[in-house]
Amino acid sequence: MTKKSSAAAPRHVAIIMDGNGRWAAARGLPRSAGHKTGIDALRRSVKAASDFGIEYLTIYSFSTENWSRPKTEVTFLLELLRRFIRQDVAELHASGVQIKIIGARDDLEASMIAMLDDAEKLTAANSKLKLVVAFNYGSRQEILRATQAIANSVKSGALNVSDITLETIAGALDTSGIPDPDLLIRTGGEQRISNFLLWQCAYAEFVFVPEFWPDFDAAIFRRALDEYAARDRRFGGVKAQTA
């Protein structure tokens, strides 16, 4: 019997939306213009993912490390998320998109936390596409929080050290219950993972596209999916033999 090892359609696509600043600089515009136009690319991508039948789309919208950018840029990015939630949630809800936010929520402003909680609650029962927004997210920090939670369970006597499994760790991450990404796309030409979904991307296929994020559209998305489909995923095993 031939075991099918080609990638077919990904169930979960994760995207590092990079290149907003360079897109703006190439046009003599401020970086904020790149981020603003990036929202249009995000809207296109959500629609395309839904049309392509992708189940989970995870986007890296603000990393733990992004706090080190100039204060005006940080403020702009925070405001952009607020505006995106305010303006787009109703439409996303109407089109069956479920929203989930991952990342450290506790150190955000109370009004922001409430807004994110409300968006999640409103869309919780939707099942067309799960949009996972990584906000104030860093994968090492996520693993640290998971480790602390597991250590506390051991300390309280609820968990034995010998009962800690891979599932225990996966279940303590922000992405608990979400399948691992099959495909990670990074725009903007850089080829690195930047503290994004380190545990979860253990077997993800990586596709790096040269276009800057504000130019990302359904055609570029399709090309990345085609590249993924041509890959041979072996998960550490060997290529299936034909008899």
Give the ranges where the chain is alpha helix by DSSP (H): 20-25, 31-51, 71-94, 110-123, 139-155, 166-172, 218-229
Q: For residue 152, indicate whether it is catalytic.
A: no
- Nearest to ligand FPP of 60, 228 (CB atom): 60
Interface with ligand FPP (CB under 6 A) = 17-22, 35, 38-39, 42, 61, 66, 77, 80-81, 84, 133, 188, 213
Q: Rounded to the nearest whole angstrom, what is the least distance from the CB of residue 25 to ligand FPP in the complex?
A: 7
- Nearest to ligand FPP of 20, 172 (CB atom): 20
Q: For residue 180, indicate whether it is catalytic.
A: no
- Nearest to ligand FPP of 172, 224 (CB atom): 224
Q: Rounded to the nearest whole angstrom, what is the least distance from the CB of residue 124 to ligand FPP in the complex?
A: 19
CB atoms within 10 A of CB 39: 18
Position with the least CB separation from ligand FPP: 21
DSSP string for residues in 162-209: GG--HHHHHHHSTTTTSPPPSEEEE-SS----TTSSTTTTTT-EEEE-
Q: CA triplet 43, 49, 52: central angle to 5 degrees?
A: 140
Catalytic residue among 20, 40, 51, 66: 66
**Catalytic residue set:** 18, 66
